[in-house]
Amino acid sequence: MSKHRGDFKTDTLCIHAGQAPDPEFGAVAAPIYQTSTFAFASTEQGAARFAGKEAGYIYTRLGNPTTKMLEDNIAALEEGVAALATATGMAAVSTCYFALLGKGDHVVASSAMYGPSRIILERDFARFGVASSFVDTGDFEAVKSAWQPNTKLLYVETPTNPTLSITDLAACSAWAHSKGALLIVDNTFLSPILQKPLRHGADIVLHSVTKFINGHADVVGGIIVFKEENLFKKVRSVLTHLGGTMDPHQAWLVLRGVKTLALRVRASQENARLAAELLASHPAVEWVKYPGLEKDPAKKALIARQMAGPGSLISFELKGGVEAGRKFLDGTSLLALAVSLGGVETLVQHPASMTHAGMSRESRLAAGISDGLVRLSVGCEDKDDLLKELKEGLDRLA
Ligand code: LCS
């Protein structure tokens, strides 16, 4: 565990947690322990490591010093006891499902979450006797109504991908715990800079580090952070056997990215506030969803309580619906037409035909993902360039 935990503020933790100058040569940047296996000094030592009687590395699928630096860094940022880095965000999601659910169990989850996180429950875990119900978890009454005697897990994205619905984590964790269930929160959309779900009662928080945490569109990865040691041990045993662990080179790139996480999140959020205002005032736009534009007093109070800022994801629909959306997306140049989010580059995409295309149209519409919805992930470009491009794209539709 990082020696920095609890001693420093978040911006400092991004840069230092889990890392200290290398004791051998004093290298300030983390060394990459690019090795699959670790030699034992003796058969006695090998046996002691396998028996868990002696700390130390064995084999990179089971643990690696570079990967551990990243795990300690994110555990510190999320205020957890420990973390597990995974090959992708989906490896984090699927490993948690696999470790915590079994035949006869039921899950309540956010209806508008990242398409594959939902689809593997509906399609794959259903084959193993796990049932699931999808509701707008931003509506606490809907969470309670979906509950069943065998509900073991409440799985929440907040804000949801791509509808940006905000869930009350304190209310949900109190409810889940009163029923003997766990709360997992996918915190990918805000990052630990803007939201720390473990503070609000979540048992596990996970991320696609592909997004804000790495931030440079050059790595896929995931991470799972735990409030308690026993859950960490349970999930670690499943992850190391299933094999979705992170490679040390991948971990090193993410360690490099996370150093600027706080700076990037704040810069992209400032741009997003301006972009949301522009969209909201433009005649070509039918509606805009952005937590910073929330009008409902109860939701505004929740956002102020739970989030340190509205983030940099915006969803909107154009007056001309799907056709206008297509024209807008095909006409952009600075805004890259690409899935993914949370990087320094601004990206736009069309969830109905891209990230959420695997969902049935019926479930997609029920989750609020309309055919014409456009998702914008605002990056760190100069605000004038960004707003100019956005405005020109919208003006072309007039
Ligand atoms: N959780 C959320 C909230 C996500 O947005 C994604 C990916 C994942 C988990 C899975 O992470 P991955 O395996 O891709 O690292 N979201 C994507 C998106 O919205 N566009 O492209 C990928």
- Catalytic residue, from 211, 289, 364, 375: name it: 211
Q: 3-class DSSP state for residue 302?
A: helix
CATH 2.60.120.10 assigned to 10-258: no
Per-residue pLDDT tens digits for 337-370: 999 999 999 999 999 999 999 999 999 999 999 9
**For residues 331 and 186, which has the higher predicted lDDT (pLDDT)?**
186
Share of the chain above pLDDT 90, in %: 94
Ligand 1 centre distance from Cα of residue 118 (Å): 11
Per-residue pLDDT tens digits for 4-60: 455 799 999 999 999 988 888 999 999 999 999 999 999 999 999 999 999 999 999
What is the residue extent of each domain of the chain?
A: 10-258, 262-395
Residue whose CB lies within 8 A of the most ligand 1 atoms, among 113, 161, 195, for a mutation test: 161
Nearest to 152 by CA among 82, 188, 204, 78: 204
Q: 3-class DSSP state for residue 151?
A: strand
Q: Does any ligand 1 atom lie closer than 6 A to the CB of residue 377?
A: no
Containing H/E element for 303? helix 297-306
Share of the chain above pLDDT 70, in %: 98
Instruction: Return the number of other C-beta atoms located less than 10 Å from residue 147's C-beta.
Output: 18
CATH number of 262-395: 3.90.1150.10
Q: Are strands 222-226 and 336-337 parallel, antiparallel or unpaired?
A: unpaired
- Check pLDDT > 50 for residue 3: no
CB 151 within 8 A of CB 106: yes
- What gap in Å lies between CA 106 and CA 131, rounded to an integer? 5
| Ligand 1 closest atom vs CA 375 | 19
Residue 209 neighbours by CB under 8 Å, 6+ apart: 74, 85, 89, 219, 221, 222, 223, 254
Per-residue pLDDT tens digits for 201-222: 999 999 999 999 999 999 999 9
What string of DSSP letters covers 86-106? Answer: ESSHHHHHHHHHHHH--TT-E
- How far, in whole angstroms, is CA 144 from its chain's centroid? 24
